[in-house]
Amino acid sequence: MVTEGMRVGKYELGRTLGEGNSAKVKLATDIVSGQSFAVKIIDKSRTSRLNVPFQIKREIRTLKVLKHPNIVRLHEVLASKTKIYMVLECVTGGDLFDRIVSKGKLSETEGRKMFQQLIDGISYCHNKGIFHRDLKLENVLLDANGHIKITDFGLSAVSQHFREDGLLHTTCGSPNYVAPEVLANKGYDGAASDIWSCGVILYVILTGCLPFDDTNLAVLCRKIFKGDPPVPRWLSPGAKTMIKRMLDPNPVTRMTVASIMANDWFKHEYSPSSCDNEDDEEDVSEEEKSHDSPTIINAFQLIAMSPFLDLSGLFETETVSERQIRFMSNRLATDVMEKIKTILMEMGFCVQKKHTMLKAIREESTRKGQGGLSLTAEVFKMIPSLNMIELRKSHGDSSLYKQLCERLLNEFDASSQR
């Protein structure tokens, strides 16, 4: 049980700021510096629900590389046998939802300033190849000075989540903020869907109500697919145009970040947020800065592969080496998948292939003394000439899994990137 006054590392926990199904957020003080932080405490016993551990790991990995004044900063991650502690920047002004509910719509001048900061933060994410996918008023916090801080990257996606068609395919987000192409479930561009959600946020900021709303989900979806929300006459022509072009149901003709930033209404008294390049300095070594060095993987991909950020051990009792390996190959992704499929079938697995992922099962045979095993193999394109293969064991015979790993590593002549 986590109580007020308890210490976690160098942090003394204080009052509870918020609470959800599997986590609570507490105010904390660094006992050395006296600085205040918000500590997100995740109870591992409550994270068994499908995808929750994955979302936590994804949020941590994403926040580790996002260092921008309009994005909540993750300072460090601590863990015990039962808890995960995410030490975050302390944002004391509540969220935009509470601000609109308590005080109503913002003036166009104030609303535009917040919208400019929102676009600054999202532009930064997109330039890093990260797409939020759950932008809504509740995920936009306000600091003591009224500046916005984007939070909750648990549903975010990165460029390696794109399928061969160059699109994302996971339907996620909050219904009132979700773009029509996401609901259509035919693949969508992460940047364009984030822009739609930003358009919904802008509409609420300036009008005090949602552009698309209905208690009947089917009716709500029809409204979203149609687009064309009612725009109050008292809004300025510039604001009306911005809302209509951002809430264009066609993602191809919808405004982009670049066109938003070039818009006269947006640029009015615009002061860009100064970006922190600290992450680039930390993640690029002197050797990598050399003009003679080979093409390097970007910072996010390096961090995603780093063992010190693999939090799998926080959720399961097996070690990472017993459950998951990663290795590199300069072969074409299609060739890699075919070779893995061939090896699996030779070893008696039933294999299902879907895009760049394989799911394989081998049933246990007591008569032959063979163990059963279930696993997935996925290929991620890092750069045009380099792919990362990730092999994950779901359950089954550890010795058989080790045998398979050794065979694959020998085949691709690569070393494990655990």
- C-alpha distances in angstroms, 188 versus 39, 149, 322, 357? 34, 26, 35, 19
Contact 196, 246 (CB under 8 A): yes
Q: pLDDT digits over 82-118, tens only?
A: 888 889 998 888 888 888 988 899 999 999 999 999 9
- The pLDDT, as a whole number, for residue 370 is 63
- The pLDDT, as a whole number, for residue 264 is 95
> Domain map of the chain by residue range?
96-267, 318-412
Side-chain-facing half-sphere of 314: CA atoms under 13 Å: 25
Compute the distance between CA of residue 120 and CA of residue 261 in angstroms, rounded to an integer: 9
- The pLDDT, as a whole number, for residue 385 is 60
Q: Would the CATH topology of 96-267 be identical to that of 318-412? A: no
**Residue for token digits 């050399």?**
290
> 135-171 b/e with 16+ CB inside 10 Å = b?
bbbebbbbbeeebbbbbbbbbbbbbbbbeeeebbeee
pTM strictly above 0.85? no
Compute the distance between CA of residue 322 and CA of residue 340 in angstroms, rounded to an integer: 19
The DSSP element (H or E) to which 148 belongs, if any, is strand 148-150
> What stretches of 338-416 adopt beta strand conformation (E)?
350-354, 357-362, 373-383, 386-396
- The pLDDT, as a whole number, for residue 21 is 62
Residues in the chain predicted with pLDDT less than 70, given as ranges, are: 1-4, 20-22, 46-54, 156-173, 185, 274-323, 355, 365-371, 381-386, 413-418
397 is known as an active-site residue: no
Q: pLDDT digits over 281-319, tens only?
A: 343 333 333 333 232 333 333 334 444 334 444 333 444
The single-letter code of the amino acid at 79 is: A
Length of the chain (residues): 418
Say if residue 289 carries a ligand binding annotation: no
CATH code for residues 318-412: 3.30.310.80
- The pLDDT, as a whole number, for residue 201 is 96
If one counts every other C-beta atom within 10 angstroms of the C-beta of residue 24, the result is: 16
CATH code for residues 96-267: 1.10.510.10
If one counts every other C-beta atom within 10 angstroms of the C-beta of residue 231, the result is: 17
Cα dihedral: 283, 289, 292, 297 (round 10): 30
- Structure-block tokens of residue 225: 């697919």
Side-chain-facing half-sphere of 272: CA atoms under 13 Å: 8
Relative to beta strand 36-43, strand 83-89 is: antiparallel
Among 120, 134, 189, 194, the one annotated catalytic: 134
- The pLDDT, as a whole number, for residue 281 is 38
- The pLDDT, as a whole number, for residue 384 is 55
The DSSP element (H or E) to which 15 belongs, if any, is strand 11-19
- C-alpha distances in angstroms, 384 versus 175, 338, 388? 36, 18, 11
**Among 69, 1, 3, 64, residue whose Cα is nearest residue 310:** 64
- The pLDDT, as a whole number, for residue 248 is 94
Compute the distance between CA of residue 305 and CA of residue 416 in angstroms, rounded to an integer: 11
Please list, in sequence order, all residues whose beta carbon lies within 8 angstroms of the beta carbon of residue 67, skipping any fewer than 6 positions away: 73, 275, 276, 277, 278, 279
